[in-house]
């Protein structure tokens, strides 16, 4: 599962997600906001922004081979509070990820930092049955929503109570030079074209002033550090290590 604040944030791990999807892993892209304050939207209504962003999400998810889900926590209004983490914890309990990728802890944009915070906090909240079945005020909720798609079912006959998700979740964050956590490189040579197509898709929407060659050079730079042609770079904040027979 990849958890980010705004559509386009996932560019940094698009090759990794596509590689896992190609292996047969189930992938979900999650955005905590619609990125509605992007200047490209001007005075566009919230309803129209929602429609456009869902088009973006559907296109990127299809390119990767993923499911997708939007929350609407408010562009540049995220707080990192428990109620935001609880929304994400319910999605964890539904999708049941064994790995999460998100932002670093020190990015300048507050939404990015808050998304990383709630993505980490939600791991613990998702482990506790009484929490993932809460409604407002901490009361047990009636049947919990199915959040597996981009439209949540809030009530009705087809909803169900959630089972807590207690399996270990590896927690990866975008690389930050000051991070105390170990670096991890993923060889994305085989999926570079998918990642480049996604980057170009957003470049065309936002009218960014960078080229495809610049994007490829960034991936090549990470690749040189890891001994491969192209790579994506992360920090591993939480891992669950098993005993090894030997040191490599």
Render pLDDT for 184-243 as a digit per residue (tens, 0 to 9).
999 999 999 999 999 999 999 999 998 999 999 999 999 999 999 999 999 999 887 778
Dist. CA 136–CA 216, nearest whole Å: 46
Identify the helix (H) or strand (E) that includes residue 193: helix 192-206
The pLDDT assigned to 226 comes to 98
2 pLDDT band, cuts 50/70/90, is very high
CATH value at residue 136: 3.40.50.10320
Average pLDDT rounded to a whole number, residues 142-157? 42
Domain total in the chain: 1
Dist. CA 90–CA 162, nearest whole Å: 7
Could you give the C-alpha distances from 156 to 24, 181, 184, in angstroms and in order? 33, 44, 44
The answer to whether position 33 is within a domain reads yes
CA proximity to 145, closest of 130, 157, 137, 128:
157
What pTM does this model have? 0.88
Instruction: Provide the mean pLDDT of the chain.
Output: 90
Residue 139 above 80 pLDDT?
no
The answer to whether position 113 is within a domain reads yes
The answer to whether position 195 is within a domain reads yes
Identify the helix (H) or strand (E) that includes residue 231: strand 231-238
Range of the domain at 12: 2-238
Dihedral sign of CA atoms 183, 109, 78, 180 in order: positive
**Radius of gyration for the chain, computed over Cα atoms and rounded to the nearest angstrom:** 18
The answer to whether position 248 is within a domain reads no
The answer to whether position 229 is within a domain reads yes
Structure-block tokens of residue 180: 């105390």
Residue 150 above 70 pLDDT?
no
The pLDDT assigned to 192 comes to 98
* Model pLDDT for residues 104-127, shown as the tens digit of each residue: 999 999 999 999 999 999 999 999
Name the more confident of 45 and 238.
45
The vertex-236 CA angle with 230 and 241, nearest 5°, equals 115
The answer to whether position 243 is within a domain reads no
* Model pLDDT for residues 218-227, shown as the tens digit of each residue: 999 999 999 9
The answer to whether position 75 is within a domain reads yes
The answer to whether position 244 is within a domain reads no
């Amino acid at each position: 599962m990849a958890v980010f604040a705004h559509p386009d944030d996932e560019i940094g791990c698009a090759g990794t997600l596509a590689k896992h999807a190609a292996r047969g892993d189930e992938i979900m892209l999650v955005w905590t906001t619609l990125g509605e304050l992007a200047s490209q939207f001007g005075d566009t209504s919230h309803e129209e922004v929602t429609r456009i962003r869902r088009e973006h999400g559907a296109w990127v998810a299809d390119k990767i081979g993923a499911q997708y889900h939007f929350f609407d926590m408010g562009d540049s209004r995220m707080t990192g509070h428990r109620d935001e983490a609880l929304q994400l914890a319910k999605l964890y309990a539904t999708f049941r990820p064994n790995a999460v990728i998100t932002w670093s802890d020190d990015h300048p944009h507050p939404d990015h930092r808050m998304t990383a915070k709630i993505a980490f906090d939600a791991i613990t909240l998702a482990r506790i049955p009484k929490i993932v079945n809460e409604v407002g005020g901490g009361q047990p909720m009636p049947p919990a929503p199915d959040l597996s798609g981009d439209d949540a079912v809030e009530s009705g006959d087809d909803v169900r109570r959630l089972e807590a998700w207690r399996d270990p979740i590896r927690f990866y964050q975008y690389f930050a030079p000051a991070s105390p956590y170990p670096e991890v490189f993923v060889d994305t040579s085989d999926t570079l074209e998918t990642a480049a197509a996604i980057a170009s898709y957003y470049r065309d929407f936002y009218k960014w002033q960078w080229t495809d060659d610049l994007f490829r050079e960034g991936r090549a730079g990470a690749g040189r550090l890891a001994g491969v042609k192209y790579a994506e770079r992360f920090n591993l904040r939480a891992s669950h290590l098993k005993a090894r027979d030997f040191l490599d």
